[in-house]
């Protein structure tokens, strides 16, 4: 991949850019932000780590959305973060206005790109970006499941003492309080995690995963999480840029999978250079399917709050 544009040079955007540069995932990373000089400063700071981390990725910053021209992939992190006590849905009204403008910029300057939405509420805004672009669902994705699954794996590692390298987790549904960590599909090197943890302890980890972002926000107080979200975005970009055909939980537009359609939800996705190749339908049991449907209902309620599209 030649060029990745990151719209939003805040902490998540900065962390994502640093990782992409260090791993030389692409030849060029450009950070775009409306704050005067901010993306230029972030880019210069990252560029000055190149001799230490020994990467040749070109990192630049700009206040002009035209800087995304020719980007193969656009990551959108811009928007208002939530504050302690707020849900992700609480920032929808403000952030949809921000996202609409950015998506229009993508249509103008990078019409062949893949979009990865990060701004919250990510499920709703991924759906909004898809409807506003009119693109195939393969090219409009959201980041949430990779982050949530990473959080769950970290908690399991803390509890069991096993290496995180051996822990695989899966989290479905909306990126919010009704997300669906599916313990049945979580393993330690192929062994079901239920073999090592009692049901009540595992349920506590499931709930801590749902509260993972809020927990960090309450501890930091003046900042939401950005290290793990940035790493999760970089994982998705790597899968696409290097055509890895990786199976990752991502926010995707559903077309009947899991009994839902015309909605964006977290599901297992196979990613390659085209973006989303296909969605894996796990075949949930009745309890899991009910939880997924409840999560979808929350996302739909927020979708109904969106202002109409131009001409809609």
Quote the CA–CA distance of 17 and 40 in Å, as a whole number: 12
The β-bridge partners of 114 are 73
Quote the tokens at residue 176.
Answer: 């919010």
**Sheet strands side by side (includes 191-192):** 167-168, 187-188, 191-192
175 flagged as catalytic? yes
Q: Distance between CA 112 and CA 117 in Å, rounded?
A: 16
201: left (phi over 0), alpha (psi -120 to 50) or beta: alpha
Sign of CA dihedral 35, 40, 41, 42: positive
Q: Which of 3, 132, 175, 210 is catalytic?
A: 175
* 117 CB neighbour count, 10 Å cutoff: 31
Which residues are annotated as catalytic? 175
């Amino acid at each position: 991949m030649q060029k990745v544009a990151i719209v939003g040079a805040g902490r998540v955007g900065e962390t994502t850019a640093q990782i992409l540069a260090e791993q030389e995932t692409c030849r060029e990373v450009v950070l775009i932000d409306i704050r005067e000089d901010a993306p230029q400063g972030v880019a210069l700071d990252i560029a000055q780590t190149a001799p230490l981390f020994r990467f040749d990725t070109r990192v630049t910053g700009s206040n002009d959305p035209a800087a995304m021209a020719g980007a193969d992939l656009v990551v959108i992190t811009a928007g208002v973060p939530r504050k302690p006590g707020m849900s992700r849905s609480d920032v929808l009204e403000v952030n949809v206005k921000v996202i609409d403008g950015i998506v229009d910029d993508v249509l103008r300057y990078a019409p062949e790109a893949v979009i990865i939405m990060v701004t919250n509420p990510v499920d709703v805004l991924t759906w909004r970006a898809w409807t506003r672009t009119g693109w195939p669902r393969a090219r409009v994705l959201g980041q949430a499941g990779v982050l949530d699954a990473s959080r769950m794996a970290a908690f399991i590692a803390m509890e069991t003492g096993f290496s995180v390298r051996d822990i695989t987790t899966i989290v479905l549904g909306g990126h919010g309080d009704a997300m669906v960590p599916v313990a049945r599909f979580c393993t330690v090197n192929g062994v079901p995690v239920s073999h090592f943890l009692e049901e009540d302890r595992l349920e506590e980890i499931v709930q801590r995963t749902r509260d993972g972002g809020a927990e960090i926000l309450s501890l930091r107080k003046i900042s939401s999480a950005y290290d793990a979200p940035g790493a999760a975005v970089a994982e998705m970009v790597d899968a696409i840029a290097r055509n890895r055909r990786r199976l990752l939980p991502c926010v995707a537009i559903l077309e009947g999978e899991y009994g839902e359609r015309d909605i964006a939800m977290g599901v297992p996705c196979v990613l390659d250079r085209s973006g989303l190749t296909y969605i894996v339908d796990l075949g949930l049991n009745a309890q899991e399917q009910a939880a997924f449907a409840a999560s979808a209902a929350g996302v739909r309620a927020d979708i109904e709050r969106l202002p109409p599209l131009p001409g809609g």
